[in-house]
Amino acid sequence: MKRHFLILFSTIFALAAIGLVIIQISQTQRSAKMSDNLFNISVNNAIDEVFNQLDQMKVEDYVSEKERYRILRYRRIDDMNERMQDIVRNNSELFYNEHKVHFGVSSQDSAYPIPGAHLTPAEDHTLTQYNTMINARNRMLAAIGPYSSGKANPFDINNIIDASKFNFPLLDSLIREELIINGVDINPYIGVLMADRDTLLYCSPDANPDDLRNTAFKYTFHPHGIIPDGNLYVVLSFPSSPIILSSDTNFYTFISICMIVLISALFIFSVRTIWFQRRLDEMKTDFINNMTHEIKTPIATISLACEMLEDETVTSDASTRRNFINIISNENRRMRILIETLLQSAKMSGKKFSISPKEIDLNSIVATCTHNFQLTVETRQGTIENHLGTIDGILFADELHITNMIHNLIDNAIKYSEQAPHIVISTRTEGNQAILEISDNGIGIAKEDQKHIFEKFYRVSTGNVHNVKGFGIGLNYVSQVVALHKGHISLTSELGQGSTFTIALPLE
C-alpha cells in the first residue's frame, strides 16, 4: 500500500471522525435543550393542576386542622342564625307581638315572654326552641372567640394564608404527586414566598432559603382567584440539574462517544499495523536483494574456480591448483557462515533458541576477536585498540554467542567506516556488571534510525544498495544474545561522528 494512499485514507477517516464528534455534540446539546424545555413544561403543568385542585376544594379543605375546626364552627353559627331567623319569620305574629315576647339588644340576642302574657303550648314550644338555639350558639362563640362584623372574616383568603393557618403540607404533597404524574422524578424543595416582605411562609425541610428565593421556578399563588396582599408565590428548587431527565439520551451519547473512541483506536492500530507491514515488506525486499547479491557472489566465484580447475593447463601447476581450491573453500565457508547466521536468527525469533552458559574470560574473547580482524583493519590503514580492564567477578555466558556478538560489532565498525577505521574496545566492571564498549569513527547513525537499529531486517541504507554488504540481522542477533544473557545494550551515535555500543552483562 503506497504511502500517499495511507495518508489520504487517514485524512478522510480523521475528517469523518471529527464530523461524527461534532454531530454527536450538537445532537447532545439539542437533546439537553429539549429535555430542559420538557422539564419546564412538565413542572408548569404540574403546578397548574395543583392550583386547579385547590380551586375545586372548599376553603376549609386546605387550611390547618385548627383553622378548619374554627371555620366549621363559624359556619354552624351562621347556620343557627339562619334557622333562628326562619323561626322568627315563620312566627312573626308571636315574636312581633309586643304583648307576648320581648327581645334583647338584637332580634337574635335573646327572646323571653312578657310577664303575665298568655302563650299557647305551641307558642311556648317555639319560644323555647329559639332560646335553646341561642344558648348553643353562645357556647360555640365562647369556644372560638368573638364573631361579629367588626372582626376579621375567617373566609378572607388574606386571613388564612398564614403559616399557622394554611395547610402547607397538603400543598407540598399535592405538588410532589403532580410532578411524578407529569414525569418529573426529581424530588424538589418547595416553598411559599411572600415577595413584598421577602418572607418564606413555608419551606421544605433541608431546603436552602436563598435557592428558593432566587429560583426560576416561581408561580403566582392566588387560591379561589383572590389575589392576596404581598404578591404570594409558590417556589420550587431542584437539588440537581433537570438534564437528569434525559438519562436515556445521556446513556446513548456516552455509548456513541465510546464507540467513536474505540473505532478511532482500532483505526490507528490498523494504520500502524499496515505501516509496519509496509516497512517490513520494504526491509524484506532489501534483505532478499542483499541476500541474493551475497549468495550470487560466492557462487559465481566458486563456479569460476571450478571452470579454471577443469582447464588442464591451469591444474598442471600445483600452486595454482591449491590457490583455486582455497578460493572455493573460503567462499564455501563464507556461505556456511551466512546460512548459520540466518538459522540462528530464525531460531531466536521463534523463541526456540537456548544458550549454554559457562564461566568465560571476556577479555580473552575480546583479544581473540581483535586479533582475527587485525589484518583486515591494517589493510585499510586503520587501527584497532584494546583497553581491557579487570573484571571483578565471574561471568557466566555462552562463549560461542558472545564471540559472534563481538565479531558482528567489530565487523560493522569496519564496514561502516568510510575512512581508515579507528576502533577502540574496552572492558571494565561497574557494580555487579561487566561492561563492554566498542567505539568507532564510522558514518554514525541518525537519531530517527537509532530506535529501529536492533529490529530484524532493518538497515539504515534503503533500497537495493550494496556498497555496504549486510542483511539487517546482525544487530538484531546481537540484541537477542544480550537479552538471553539478561543484559542490556545501548547505543550512542551521531552522524559523521561514529558510534559507541555499550553492553552490560551481569556478574556472579
Within this chain, do residues 373 and 465 fall inside the same structural domain, yes or no?
yes
Considering the domain boundaries, does residue 156 fall inside one? no
Co-location of 316 and 365 in the same domain: no
Grid cell locating 351: 523463541
Angle, in degrees to the nearest 10, between helices 3-56 and 168-181: 140
The residue from 343, 363, 396 where one domain ends is: 343
Least confident segment among 14-18, 53-57, 223-227, 234-238: 223-227
Of 210, 240, 270, the residue at which a domain comes to its end is 240
Residue 425 has pLDDT above 90, yes or no: yes
Note whether 190 and 320 are same-domain residues.
no
Q: Please check whether residue 93 lies inside any domain of the structure.
A: yes
Give the mean pLDDT of 135-157. 59
Task: Flag whether 155 is in a domain.
Answer: no
Residue 395 sits in the same domain as residue 501: yes
Domain range enclosing 280: 247-343
Strands 199-203 and 358-360, bridge-based pairing:
unpaired
**Residue of 354 and 232 predicted with greater confidence:** 232
> What mean pLDDT value characterizes the chain?
78
Do 133 and 210 lie in a common domain? no
Which amino acid is present at 471?
Answer: F
Answer yes or no: is 150 within a domain: no
Task: State the pLDDT confidence band at 397, using cuts at 50, 70 and 90.
Answer: very high
Residues 491 and 428 placed together within one structural domain of the fold? yes
What's the confidence (pLDDT) of residue 503? 95
| Residue 183 vs residues 34, 46, 241: alpha-carbon distances, Å | 15, 9, 15
C-alpha 214 chain-centroid distance: 34
Do 85 and 50 have their domain in common?
Answer: no
Query: What's the pTM?
Result: 0.42
Cell of 16: 469523518
**Residue 401 resides in a domain:** yes
pLDDT confidence of 169, banded at 50, 70, 90? Answer: confident
| Domains in the chain, number | 4
Q: Are 42 and 177 found together in one domain?
A: yes
* Residue 313 and residue 436 share a domain: no
d(CA 292, CA 464) in angstroms, rounded, equals 11
| Residue 118 or 2, more confident | 118
Better pLDDT: 274 or 340: 274
Is residue 11 a part of any domain in this protein? yes
| Residues 289 and 433 placed together within one structural domain of the fold | no
How far does the chain reach from its first CA to its final CA, in angstroms?
Answer: 50
- Is position 149 within any domain? no
Per-residue DSSP letter, 428: E
- Residue 35 or residue 461, greater confidence: 35
- Please determine, for residue 168, whether its predicted confidence score (pLDDT) is greater than 70: yes
Tell me, yes or no, whether 266 and 279 share the same domain.
yes
In the sheet with 217-220, reading across from the earlier edge strand, the strands are 199-203, 189-194, 232-237, 217-220
Q: Which residue is associated with the grid cell 462517544?
A: 257
Distance CA 181, CA 174 (A): 11
Would you state the pLDDT for residue 123?
Answer: 86
Q: Are residues 368 and 419 in the same domain?
A: yes
- Give the pLDDT of residue 147: 44
Does residue 388 form part of some domain? yes
* 8-state DSSP, 130: H
DSSP 149-203: TTSPPTT-HHHH-STTTB-HHHHHHHHHHHHHHTT--SPPEEEEEEGGGTEEEEE
Distance CA 148, CA 61 (A): 24
Q: Are 88 and 130 in contact (CB under 8 A)?
A: yes
Q: Which residues of 332-357 are buried (b: 16+ CB within 10 A; e: fewer)?
A: eebbeeeeebeebbeebeeeebeeee
User: Coil, helix or strand for 230?
Assistant: coil
Pick from 33-47, 174-188, 327-341, 408-422: least confident: 327-341
